[in-house]
Amino acid sequence: MKVLPFIIPKPENSTLIIQEDRGGSFYSKLHQHEEIQLSCIVKGEGTFFVGDRFGQFSPGDVFGIGAHLPHVFSNESTAEGVHMISLFFTADSYGRDFFEHPEFHSFNVFFEAVRLGFRLDSDAFGMGQRLSKMLHQAPLDRFLSFVELIDLVSKSDLETLSSDLHRKRFSETEGKRMRDIMDYTLENYARVLSVGKVAEIANMSPNAFCRYFRQRTNKTYMNFVTDLRIGQACRLLTRNRDLRISEIAFQSGFNNLTHFNRKFKQVKGMTPSRFRVRLK
């Protein structure tokens, strides 16, 4: 199977593709596909990367991912596992000009926003339940539910995820390079990392790699790693109230408590201790 582009299996008797992912982990390779993706995280938490933006996801988050927009969801391993329901379609699923009809004028908000990816921070209108219901609907009922869903999303407040930097498609070679970089980083960010090592994985000189990575993420590589580590620290501060902050720093990849406190405040605007107090 090619890493990029990723092929979404298409059922013969349905224009819309609805997929339910359950198990120990989500598909963990950076990939892109021609279909627009609308997903609800029912269970699981971890780190997402969409276009040139990354962050943390948790249950109830709803994501819209545009056609050919590179993305990956890397979840934390837990005994409970993960659960995501996704809807896949294209702007031409029902014909080239179908959504150009006046009745669908309001849908322009959705199609414009999804180009760069978006997130809804809460499942305010029951996206998980709606998608779960669509799994078992007949084609006509599923289509009606789909139209209602796009209408609801179009009227919601959407957080844009990516930038126009990622409107160009990855070639298979470039996709594999970015996949290798992301795989290595997501698996090892809690350990000691160096630009030299990851540049070697990318088969580039350190200087060329630094330019390459910043052009595609709007961040230096080490700033990207720092933000991943802070994200992990936030999850530990949230879930493990009895864990000492020094232990959280170490488990997140910081071997110096002073450095951890300084970086945490730079990213979150407060100290780890204050972050924990506010949670209470």
Tens of pLDDT, residue by residue over 52-109, are 888 888 888 899 999 988 888 988 777 778 999 999 999 888 888 888 888 888 888 8
- How far CA 204 is from CA of 22, 183, 196, 208, 210, in Å, comes to 37, 17, 9, 6, 9
Least confident of 116-120, 126-130, 251-255: 126-130
Beta bridge partner(s), residue 89: 36
> In this structure, are 137 and 30 located in the same domain?
yes
Token pair recorded at residue 4:
């990029």
> In this structure, are 53 and 109 located in the same domain?
yes
Beta bridge partner(s), residue 41: 84
> In this structure, are 128 and 233 located in the same domain?
no
Structure pTM?
0.74
Q: Is the CB of residue 128 less than 8 Å from the CB of residue 40?
A: yes
- Residue carrying the six token digits 């997130």: 119
> In this structure, are 148 and 27 located in the same domain?
yes
> In this structure, are 148 and 66 located in the same domain?
yes
233 closest CA partner among 273, 192, 174, 188: 273
Tens of pLDDT, residue by residue over 233-250, are 988 888 888 889 999 999
Q: Could you give the number of structural domains in the chain?
A: 2
Does residue 191 carry a pLDDT above 60?
yes
pLDDT band with cut points at 50, 70 and 90 for residue 195: very high
The last residue of a domain, from among 129, 164, 199: 164
Q: Is residue 99 part of a domain?
A: yes
CATH number at residue 230: 1.10.10.60
Find the domain containing 272 and state its range: 189-279
> In this structure, are 130 and 219 located in the same domain?
no
Does residue 8 carry a pLDDT above 60?
no
> In this structure, are 222 and 257 located in the same domain?
yes
